[in-house]
Amino acid sequence: MSVSQLAMGGNINYPLEMNVFRAQQGDESLRNKIIESYQPFIKKVVSKVCNRFIDQTMDEFSVGLVAFNEAITQYRKGQGSKFLTFADMVIRRRIIDFIRKESRQVRHIYLDQTKTDEDNEMEESYVEQRAAIDYYEESCKISERMDQIDSYRKLLLEYGITFDVLSRHCPKHADARENAKISAKILVGHPELIRFLKKKKQLPIKDLLQFVSCSRKTIERNRKYIIALALIYIGGFSALTSYIEPESVPVH
pLDDT tens digits for range 32-48: 999 999 999 999 999 88
Q: In this structure, are 44 and 110 located in the same domain?
A: yes
- Exposure pattern of 228-243 as b/e (b: 16+ CB <10 Å)? bbbbbbbeebebbeeb
Asked if residue 1 is part of any domain, the answer here is no
The pLDDT of residue 240 is 75
Domain boundary among 113, 145, 177: 145
Q: In this structure, are 118 and 53 located in the same domain?
A: yes
Domain boundary among 118, 145, 172: 145
Q: In this structure, are 42 and 141 located in the same domain?
A: yes
- The range of the structural domain enclosing residue 193 comes to 159-243
Q: In this structure, are 129 and 167 located in the same domain?
A: no
Q: How far apart are CA 20 and CA 90, in angstroms?
A: 15
Q: In this structure, are 107 and 170 located in the same domain?
A: no
Q: In this structure, are 48 and 136 located in the same domain?
A: yes
**This model's pTM is above 0.85:** no
- Structural domains counted in the chain: 2
* Side-chain-side CA neighbours of residue 32 (13 Å): 3
Q: What is the pLDDT along the chain (252 residues), one digit of tens a residue?
A: 444 444 344 444 468 888 999 999 988 899 999 999 999 999 999 988 888 888 888 888 999 999 999 999 989 876 667 889 889 999 999 998 888 877 665 554 443 444 555 555 555 555 555 555 555 556 566 667 777 888 888 999 999 998 888 888 788 888 888 889 999 999 999 999 999 999 999 999 999 999 998 899 999 999 999 999 999 989 888 777 765 543 433 333
Q: In this structure, are 137 and 43 located in the same domain?
A: yes
Q: In this structure, are 135 and 231 located in the same domain?
A: no
Asked if residue 201 is part of any domain, the answer here is yes
Q: In this structure, are 134 and 164 located in the same domain?
A: no
43, 64 Cβ separation under 8 angstroms: yes
Asked if residue 100 is part of any domain, the answer here is yes
The pLDDT of residue 146 is 78
Q: How far apart are CA 39 and CA 103, in angstroms?
A: 25
Spatial CA neighbour of 1 closest among 35, 26, 46, 28: 35
Asked if residue 96 is part of any domain, the answer here is yes
Asked if residue 53 is part of any domain, the answer here is yes
Q: In this structure, are 125 and 163 located in the same domain?
A: no
Q: How far apart are CA 25 and CA 37, in angstroms?
A: 19
Domain boundary among 102, 118, 145: 145
The pLDDT of residue 56 is 84
The pLDDT of residue 11 is 44
